[in-house]
Structure 1
Amino acid sequence: MTLAELAARATALRAARGRRVLIGIVGAPGAGKSWTSERLAEVLGASAVVVPMDGFHLAQVELERLGRADRKGAPDTFDVGGLAALLRRIREETDAVVYAPAFVRAIEEPIAGAIPVPPDAGIVLVEGNYLHLDAWAPVGACLDEVWFLEVPDGLRADRLHARHESFGRTPEAARDWVASVDEPNAVAIAAQRDRADLVVRLRP
């Protein structure tokens, strides 16, 4: 599919619902969820806004308290209830700005109130790894559709290695993190791929 085709589907979904729609953009780590969501929002124009799941990372201090800092990014290192509550607000409160948090990779922490969802945002693209999982059902219940991004595993791995190295990990540490954290998460995500409403293999 192309971005133009995805934009047409999103626009048609909004028209059919007659209200603001929330579309989940999911996939394994390195699948290109952020890039696809941002480019799709550009195609859709001012009617679209991107809300990333990553804004609901637990803070580093809390991950350390829980003993989960060594697998940051796993399903249980997010505030799932907080994300679901925000999505319910976004669906229901369409007469005022609703603010969403962002995740800043330079400091590896979420920042509250960073992303405004204005009243005229008719399409909200919610991007993240786990939106379609059974364990995240309160989140999935807020979405009108879920689109699963599928890319070759080799390409995903290359992207992940480059990402981790760009944020200070050595090549060896990047490989270890991908093998011990990212890939187990990818397996869990792929296992529920069939729950998605659409499987997307982007082409130019």
Structure 2
Amino acid sequence: MAVQYLLIGVGVLALVWIITPFGDEALAALTVVSRLELLTSALFLNLSGALMVFTAQNTGAGQAARVRDGVRHSVWLGVALTAVVSLLLLTERGPVAALFSGSDETRLITERYILITAPFFLCYTLTVVLHGWFNGIARTVVPLVCTVLSLGVVRLPLSYGLGHARGVDGVMWATVIGWAAGLVYTLLAAARRTGSPPQGGHDRDHDIKAGPMATSDNWGDR
């Protein structure tokens, strides 16, 4: 997890380097956007952390059904909260942008960023919530690989390429594509995890480690 956060920090610095040639207004908008993302993502990061602790405790206690229900409830709560947050950002993007900057051009860039990315914010929030489950079952490599893929392999190169092709809007769309890539990888990892057969031993061991979408008859209360 420490390596994951380190990579995110390095990625932000790389984004600053990519945005700088577009001028001071674009760079200021990036700062505003970073603050917005910090505020909007804090709720989902806390939800992910709570799910991590919940999953670890109940996995250790052999309560597979509670883990399954906890993940499902967290995902649905994340979906509901994301809908509210995204709607608020879209409808109030003008006043929100004005809170962080007095420059008209910076506000316009910030509003465009919200308009482009807010409808896809669910990709980010679902990824973050599911990472709490992976961390809770001690599969911390999945969130790390997801960060490398989403940020390092997809978002940064696309930000550079689309930025030269479409300007600042290209960098914004690179953010959306990066979120989508991270979610796809996370869902594939979850599907692979839930679909893995037991590696020997009693089925209970498989039940404890199985994911939230498992449908085996072994998913009963122990």
Normalised to the residue count of structure 2, the TM-score between the two structures is: 0.29
Whose relative contact order is higher, 1 or 2, with alpha carbons under 8 Å and at least 6 apart? 1
Is the strand fraction higher in 1 or 2?
1
* Structure with the higher helix share, 1 or 2: 2
- The structure with more radius of gyration: 2
